[in-house]
Structure 1
């Protein structure tokens, strides 16, 4: 899955890769978490623009967003069929800029966080784009807000050693087809992104302070010594033989 990520690129680097500049306040973020606003690139009305949506998709048909499960990820293998996602993948595909993401490896009862980035990024400072989908929920009082999920796929390469899922990455030559929900079928847009990239990533252990949603800053990417791997406990049943 993808449950935390980083976007530390300045505005001009976003403009160089995506051709858009975010409106309003913008600053690097090193611990983007579910329920927070996420910058994304969209083309819903024909014009490519930058916008924000709350991370944790709520389907438009859900009656009560206060009691809805936050769907932070959508499996690329089933996204076209799941009722919660099938409208968004067809009509509201987006690019989610990132420079790193975090993943956790279970060590006994504990978890070791890792920072992950691309060996050959698409833009400066490690910038690349994750595949995302957006839905809009409208209340009876006229309230409207956008929510977002990040697509995932089976992990490969070094990432598979710490977790079985990873984000779906959209290469620059597929930006146009991914964003063009009017002319490009969802399955056609998704299929080219399912290519394994076992040598595309590098990762390193980071401090567990990243687990705290309120903590931010470049120090979260500093490498630390990994927790020792606990040896498997002997099976007490074997003592009987």
Structure 2
């Protein structure tokens, strides 16, 4: 499961790290929530391009765009079979850059949010799928984040985690030459030893809160 994440790295750094071009602008985001517009990277004519997608995949056949709220994540184990994800898995794969994601742990005092990030504190990329929905009035390009079983660092908080792609695997994920069957090996938990987590502010509970104060408990250490 991944229902909130952050992206607060400078665009120039992201473009260099993920080797893509983006004509738009980005601002620091500390609490990205479903249905919002997010930055994604696709392979296009042999180059990587940045695009703005809506988070929460809306299949082309859907009659109601609200279905996107139920499709913010896709279980990597079944995307080759599920009607909503099968076609995107074959030809509409994307990277979703991120600086960290949030999960909530049930504790006696209530649900405590945790922030998961790389030990290096570098941005990383989720494996994503996207699709195009349209009617007579509008066209929406939406996406979903793949999930897999949690690693040891994450499993005491949640039994699932996003599929995080190592740099060496990102080109294969985006390439139109990659066969879906060959990509299955990428759907594994990211190494625990390369990740950290920290309890953060309850401010993250509301998507209206979009400031660095969310990470204040982490940054104060």
**TM-score under structure 2 normalisation?**
0.92
Q: Which 5+ residue runs of structure 1 have no aligned equivalent?
A: 225-241
Match of 1:132, SS state, is: strand
Asked if the contact 1:92/1:135 (under 8 Å) is kept, the reply is: yes
User: What CA deviation, in whole Å up to 9, does each residue of 1:22-59 have, x standing for no partner?
Assistant: 32231111100000011010014443100011101111
Match of 1:136, SS state, is: strand
Displacement after TM superposition at 1:193 (Å) = 4.0
Q: Describe the shift of the 1:129–1:196 C-alpha distance in structure 2 as closer, same or farther (beyond 3 A).
A: closer
2:135 aligned with 1:143, yes or no?
Answer: no
Deviates more, 1:125-134 or 1:190-199: 190-199
Residue 78 of structure 2: aligned partner: 78
- Separation (CA, whole Å) in 1 of partners of 2:186 and 2:208: 36
User: What CA deviation, in whole Å up to 9, does each residue of 1:199-223 have, x standing for no partner?
Assistant: 2211111111111101111121122
Residue 212 of structure 1: aligned partner: 206
- Separation (CA, whole Å) in 2 of partners of 1:63 and 1:113: 34
CA RMSD, 1 decimal: 1.8
Residue 187 of structure 1: aligned partner: 181
Displacement after TM superposition at 1:119 (Å) = 1.2
Residue 36 of structure 2: aligned partner: 36
Q: Describe the shift of the 1:144–1:116 C-alpha distance in structure 2 as closer, same or farther (beyond 3 A).
A: same
Q: Which 5+ residue runs of structure 2 have no aligned equivalent?
A: none
For the pair shown, the structure with the greater C-alpha radius of gyration is 1
2:193 aligned with 1:199, yes or no?
Answer: yes
**TM-score under structure 1 normalisation?**
0.85
Q: Describe the shift of the 1:66–1:219 C-alpha distance in structure 2 as closer, same or farther (beyond 3 A).
A: closer
Match of 2:89, SS state, is: helix
- Separation (CA, whole Å) in 1 of partners of 2:113 and 2:133: 33
Q: Superposed, which structure 2 residues align to 1:218-237 within 5 Å?
A: 218-223=212-217
Asked if the contact 2:163/2:190 (under 8 Å) is kept, the reply is: no
Count of residue pairs the alignment pairs up: 218
- Separation (CA, whole Å) in 1 of partners of 2:50 and 2:68: 26
Residue 11 of structure 1: aligned partner: 11
Residue 129 of structure 2: aligned partner: 133
Higher fraction of strand: 2
Q: Describe the shift of the 1:69–1:116 C-alpha distance in structure 2 as closer, same or farther (beyond 3 A).
A: closer
- Separation (CA, whole Å) in 2 of partners of 1:110 and 1:159: 18
Residue 167 of structure 1: aligned partner: 162
